[in-house]
Amino acid sequence: MIVSLMLATSMCMQVVTPEVTARIAKLKNQITVGVVGGSDLVKQKEQLGEDVIHTFDYSFSENGLVGYHNGECINKTSLKEYVGNDKLNKFINFTLLYIANLDIPIKRGTFIEFRQGMLNVSPIGRNCSQDERDDFEQYDHIHQVRAKMVNVLRAQFADYDFTYSIGGQISFDVFPTGWDKTYCLKFLSAADFDEIHFFGDKTHVVGGNDYEIFVHDRTIGHAVKSPEDTLRLLDTLFP
């Protein structure tokens, strides 16, 4: 049996610990190990190390719209080419105006991050500090800032066929329907892998950025709450 393990990067925006790195290295002697996240490759390197495309057998950033296998690029898909500049401008202008009129305790900078295959929208702005990030997460949990914003955008741009995926602490991703984390599965053929185990934390709510791949018929989903929780489960499944 050939097994693949896919880890979500959204479980913790902190830098990966030496314990996790060591466990991944050990795991690669047993099975194929990959990582998939909504953030771009730059952020993935900040979180998992500059050598992430070699640390993992498969490295998928932006849900797999940018993909590497054994250090070699196997895919790059462009949102700009797929959607078109005019439609993107309309969406971005409306979103920035919405944020400008949004009454929240703190705003910083980089409210929209344009990535290779998606837009990342942050009401507080991605330039916030870690403490501000933590505070906004708690504020958003109570006031549902991101969820309300997604509902407005979904109604305003119903003809765009966009999917909105809330993940992490401060932002949500916007991409064409079908470009969620299940996108990476097309590079893991059923002929090559008998089982694909997926570990993520945003798994149980439609719109959470791990939900679609967690419930996909090709994956065995595992809901985890932290890197430590992941390590404990890995020790049980792959001793």
Query: Which pTM does this prediction carry?
Result: 0.77
Statement to judge: residues 31 and 100 lie in one domain: no
Q: Do residue 86 and residue 170 come from a single domain?
A: yes
* Binding region: 115, 126, 133, 171, 173, 201, 214, 219
For residues 46 and 83, state if they share a domain.
no
Are 196 and 124 members of one domain?
Answer: no
Q: How many domains does the chain fold into?
A: 2
Annotated binding site for alpha-D-mannose 1-phosphate: 115, 126, 133, 171, 173
pLDDT top residue among 15 and 219: 219
pLDDT (0 to 100) of residue 162:
96
- The pLDDT of residue 209 is 78
Residue positions forming the annotated binding site for Mg(2+) = 201, 214, 219
Q: Is the pLDDT of residue 1 over 80?
A: no
Whether residues 89 and 161 fall in one domain: yes
Residues spanned by the domain of 45: 3-77+179-237
Which of 153, 176, 199 terminates a domain? The answer is 176
Residue 206's pLDDT is: 67
Average pLDDT over residues 20-30: 89
156 and 227 inside one domain: no
The predicted-structure confidence for 95-128, as pLDDT tens digits, reads as follows 999 999 999 999 999 999 999 889 999 999 999 9
Instruction: Kindly state whether residues 91 and 62 are assigned to the same domain.
Output: no
- Is pLDDT larger for residue 224 or for residue 73? 73
SS3 state at 58: strand
CB-facing half-sphere around the CA of 206: CA atoms within 13 A = 1
Average pLDDT over residues 213-218: 94
Cα 217 to Cα 77: distance, rounded to the nearest angstrom: 24
178 three-class SS: coil
Domain end, chosen from 176, 196, 212, is at 176
